[in-house]
Structure 1
């Protein structure tokens, strides 16, 4: 029934399919192409609750669209995006500490030493806050491996 050519073709396809189908992990967690679910990342550093950005103040950085509440926040981000961008690409910092990529809730966050960390939910954020320094250390070890070796 199966010809030799068919079997060789099937084996070849099986060998190359994982590499061909493998998708790159986006550097930043995005929802519909927008980082931070549309929240203004600079607003996390202003001492108040984070606010949604507006498309009219959007820019594209690292393949994601970033929205800002006003021109001042947009301009601050453009001057130094790494100062405001969330750690671990905006993926859940707690999950990253355990070697996993998990989506985030932009309302579950913490700024530590001038860096923004997001978590999956308020419940996960509470667990994250129990040992933040240790989880940061663990996540920093996992991030390059997850980002570049999957």
Structure 2
């Protein structure tokens, strides 16, 4: 068996082991919501973290309600007026992919809570994962997982997390 084939088998087995963990960990913030953006009951996205800060500061920063904007039906908070201005100019460039749901979860046809502290920027897009263990699995094959997630997202984005 070739090294490439062995690596593929190990990756598949790892994913099969990780997939059940996804289901037993954190669900979306509001499991009965069919919204395409992961928010709390007050419609706050990213648990109040500033989506621009991931790009400008290179790390998560808690937003301030004084600096807020709505995008795709959700409210985002920002750490500064400058970040708010950047977001308003091009919100889709800063909003997390898959509405802030876990990227690996979407690849596995689930809408799981994205943890703002477990993130990665890929090709100038922000992705969240439900926890560090899941992020490790997602990072093993980001291109493959993104293909799966892009295929799944149109089908699941308007479904409730609990229905998946």
| Bigger relative CO (Cα 8 Å, ≥ 6 apart) | 2
What is the TM-score of this pair, normalised by structure 1? 0.80
Residue 96 in 1 paired to residue 129 in 2? no
Change (3 A) 1:149 1:37: closer
Structure-1 residue corresponding to 2:56: 46
Residue 141 in 1 paired to residue 151 in 2? yes
What are structure 1's unaligned runs of at least 5 residues? Answer: 1-22
C-alpha separation between the residues in 2 aligned to 1:31 and 1:78?
A: 21
C-alpha separation between the residues in 2 aligned to 1:121 and 1:28?
A: 18
If you compute each CA radius of gyration, which structure gives the higher value, 1 or 2?
Answer: 1
Change (3 A) 1:149 1:119: closer
Task: Determine which structure has the larger strand proportion and give its number.
Answer: 1
Alignment of 1:10-25 (within 5 A): 25=34
Structure-2 residue corresponding to 1:30: 39
Deviations, residues 28-56 of structure 1 (Å, cap 9, x unaligned): 10124210000000011125221000000
What are structure 2's unaligned runs of at least 5 residues? Answer: 1-31
Residue 131 in 1 paired to residue 141 in 2? yes
Deviation at 1:61, TM superposition (A): 1.8
Give the one of 115, 122, 125 matched to 1:112: 122
